[in-house]
A and B are shown apart, each in its own frame.
Chain A
């Protein structure tokens, strides 16, 4: 069983059990994490699943591809060096223990 921790904008910590193969965005919306919207359903189009990772977690994952980088650059507000779009981060046993902060609106 693999878990991730979401930190909502008001500081609330939410531990979510993940289904292998789903995305961070899917896990977040399924669990009702505040601020994870996923308006486009995971097509890397809307940046409403923008999150920040810790430096260690960011380095642990495959880096964002060009499409995700463009979406982050042009549609997400408050982009940081460890920004990711939740819909592009696939979860598995290898991602157990990620700590994810919902990006500022």
Chain B
């Protein structure tokens, strides 16, 4: 009897795999396993729309009917504890087993935890799941001073949301700049300046000494410069680590995530990994990467379905990301590793602009601020391997469109 495909993890990637398999003509059983009890839902709005409006429910990815129509069996609220590669079955925490012909691991990542005196105080939050965001949304009402530890995408998105709701907000970043690992310095400086205009305090190059409280409740954060920041609620957004324990314990090769080849197969040819947890060789960057994004998860899901159906090709989608930061729409296309030249388009004081990253004459990546048209064109340019010259950039969007035949 056919065991079928088992998918562990029901984020954007895991949820997509079954539908893509059906599209590719797969007719066997498909099981989607999630340790969360909810029907799979969109995670990006948790730090924005969901947080802002208490009447909002999470936005589901698909209706329950869609899974039934595609004959995808949902195993919600069930945690996979082990993968038995000899028996080709996964084992749940309750001891039950589920056999597979092919296994897709899409377990995502977990928020890095703060290791600091005072981390046991009530009022410490992070955002990853619906439960996290619901807990934060409830606690937020009573809070007046909110500190965000970590100036990355999620922390800053939430900071903008808090400010909009009239909270006093301080962002504390240990690095010299916010968004340091994510966007170019020009974009980071622009976001920093815009946030200060919104009344958000941004402290960079600032270390943390300890969290301080009264009667078990958060009151302040003591900083390494001896000052302290009042905070009755603290949101921690200091990155994430891949959920690769299951794979590691099963003896699969792991190194900052589950190591996969360009077809997304792990060191066991019957097991695949996609999305935040997968460490894959990136064709354009010429190195291994692990990307945490909706686009990467969704496109790898579609790709792994092809691989499982015997159409193994190398995964080579152009990465793109977005982050809605208060009044700013940040959009990134490509990966800027190894860039040695950065060209800003448009007038120097225009609050809507793009930064083009080059290695020599080769365009690697483009960061855009409130320039969605630039972003869309950039995705096409990078995918096609077309590198506009600085003169082309100077001529404006119409010239760039013409380079991709528009």
Interface presence of A73 (CB below 8 A): yes
* Docked-complex contact B63 and A70, CB < 8 angstroms: no
* Chain A contacts for B163, CB-based, 8 A: none
Interface presence of B379 (CB below 8 A): yes
With known contacts A26-B59, A45-B322, A71–B376 Cβ distance under 8 A? yes
* Docked-complex contact B373 and A43, CB < 8 angstroms: no
* Docked-complex contact A32 and B12, CB < 8 angstroms: no
Partner of B322, one of A31, A38, A43, A70: A43
* Docked-complex contact A71 and B372, CB < 8 angstroms: yes
* Chain B contacts for A67, CB-based, 8 A: 372-373
* Docked-complex contact A66 and B322, CB < 8 angstroms: no
* Chain A contacts for B42, CB-based, 8 A: 41
Report the Cα distance A64→B45, complex, angstroms: 23
With known contacts A26-B59, A29-B61, A32-B63, A40–B372 Cβ distance under 8 A? no
* Docked-complex contact A74 and B376, CB < 8 angstroms: yes
* Docked-complex contact A74 and B380, CB < 8 angstroms: yes
Interface presence of B141 (CB below 8 A): no
Nearest B-chain residue to A32, judged by Cβ: B63
Interface presence of A75 (CB below 8 A): yes
Report the Cα distance A97→B67, complex, angstroms: 27
* Chain B contacts for A26, CB-based, 8 A: 59
Q: Distance (Å) between the CB of B295 and the closest chain A CB?
A: 8
* Docked-complex contact A29 and B373, CB < 8 angstroms: no
Interface presence of B62 (CB below 8 A): yes
B contact set with A: CB distance below 8 Å: 12, 42, 44-45, 59-66, 69, 294-295, 298, 320, 322, 324, 329, 331, 372-373, 376-377, 379-380, 406
A40-B294, A70-B376 given; 18 more Cβ-contact pairs under 8 Å: A26-B59, A29-B60, A30-B63, A31-B63, A32-B64, A41-B44, A42-B45, A42-B59, A43-B44, A45-B322, A67-B372, A67-B373, A70-B373, A74-B377, A74-B379, A74-B380, A74-B406, A75-B376
A contact set with B: CB distance below 8 Å: 26, 29-32, 34, 38-46, 66-67, 70-71, 73-75
- A sample of 19 cross-chain residue pairs with beta-carbon separation below 8 angstroms, ordered by A number, consists of A26-B59, A29-B63, A32-B62, A32-B64, A32-B65, A32-B66, A32-B69, A38-B61, A39-B12, A40-B322, A42-B45, A43-B44, A45-B320, A46-B295, A46-B298, A67-B372, A71-B372, A74-B406, A75-B379
